[in-house]
Structure 1
Amino acid sequence: MGNSFRVDRVGMEIKREVNEILQKKVRDPRVQNVTITDVQMLGDLSAAKVFYTIHSTLASDNQKAQTGLEKATGTIKRELGKNLTMYKIPDLIFIKDESIEYGNKIDEMLRNLERKD
């Protein structure tokens, strides 16, 4: 049970650090509008699912951001290694966070429903 607290804490720290690294260290224009929304760690801390959003609705921008994040993974892991006191930096798996778009879609549907009444 105590291990889940550590897993959550490491996930929060990685989220904070990756956001900062993307802003300050990664110069790739493809990832400039990327925001890390969540990090889910495996129980053994060997891998982290890093969820992100991008401030664009274009499919091409989404693909460019994914490619940019994958290219920057080495830099991000190296910077995490400098900033975190962990034996092994987890593998990073970047996944687009669809929850915000989904929430916006539901909000729009509710607004349309209210207008019809």
Structure 2
Amino acid sequence: MRKNSIKNTRVNGEVQRELSNIIRGEIKDPRINPMTSIVAVEVSPDLKMCKAYISVLGDEKSQEDTIKGLRSAEGYIRTKLAKAINLRNTPEIKFVLDQSIEYGVNMSKIIADINQKDSKAEDDYNE
């Protein structure tokens, strides 16, 4: 993976902030879950492409509907982004579902269950 320049890091942060504002405040699509957040944004150095990693709190159907809603609103989001951020090129946005938070929560539950079973087994052994 290539190291980001300071300019690219700043552009990523600004695009992430504006995308969050647009999705939270301006899109009225009922498919988009209100508990949607932008986890990370990667804008290419030539400012042509942008990957936005989306996290949705909810079940699998809610996640799929949110991604479909965002993909159908890509043109509108790109127009709003162009008005909010003055860049040479407004990047084409690709939304990617990020399930790392959900994965982390599931792993924490599994570890807690194992620790609980382990301490229960140890208590039974000591008796």
Normalising by structure 2, what TM-score?
0.84
Bigger radius of gyration among the two: 2
Match of 2:53 among 38, 51, 54: 51
> In structure 2, what is the Cα distance between the partners aligned to 1:77 and 1:61?
23
Summarize deviations over 1:19-74 as a string: whole Å, max 9, x none.
100121111111242211110122222111100111212x2211111110001111
Given that residues 23 and 32 in structure 1 are in contact (C-alpha distance below 8 angstroms), is that contact kept between their aligned partners in structure 2?
no
Corresponding position of 2:79: 78
Summarize deviations over 1:82-105 as a string: whole Å, max 9, x none.
110101110101000111011011
> In structure 1, what is the Cα distance between the partners aligned to 2:57 and 2:102?
11
Gaps of 5+ in 1: none
Corresponding position of 1:41: 43
1:70-109 matches, cutoff 5 A: 70-109=71-110
> In structure 2, what is the Cα distance between the partners aligned to 1:65 and 1:39?
17
Normalising by structure 1, what TM-score?
0.91
Corresponding position of 1:22: 23
Corresponding position of 1:66: 67
Corresponding position of 1:4: 5
Q: What is the SS of the residue equivalent to 1:36?
A: strand
Q: Bigger shift: 29-38 or 92-101?
A: 29-38
Given that residues 81 and 89 in structure 1 are in contact (C-alpha distance below 8 angstroms), is that contact kept between their aligned partners in structure 2?
yes
Given that residues 33 and 62 in structure 2 are in contact (C-alpha distance below 8 angstroms), is that contact kept between their aligned partners in structure 1?
no
- The percent identity for this pair of structures is 29
Gaps of 5+ in 2: 119-127
How many residues are treated as equivalent by the alignment?
116
> In structure 2, what is the Cα distance between the partners aligned to 1:82 and 1:43?
20
RMSD: 1.8
Given that residues 22 and 32 in structure 1 are in contact (C-alpha distance below 8 angstroms), is that contact kept between their aligned partners in structure 2?
no
Structure 1 ranges of 4+ moved more than 2 A: none
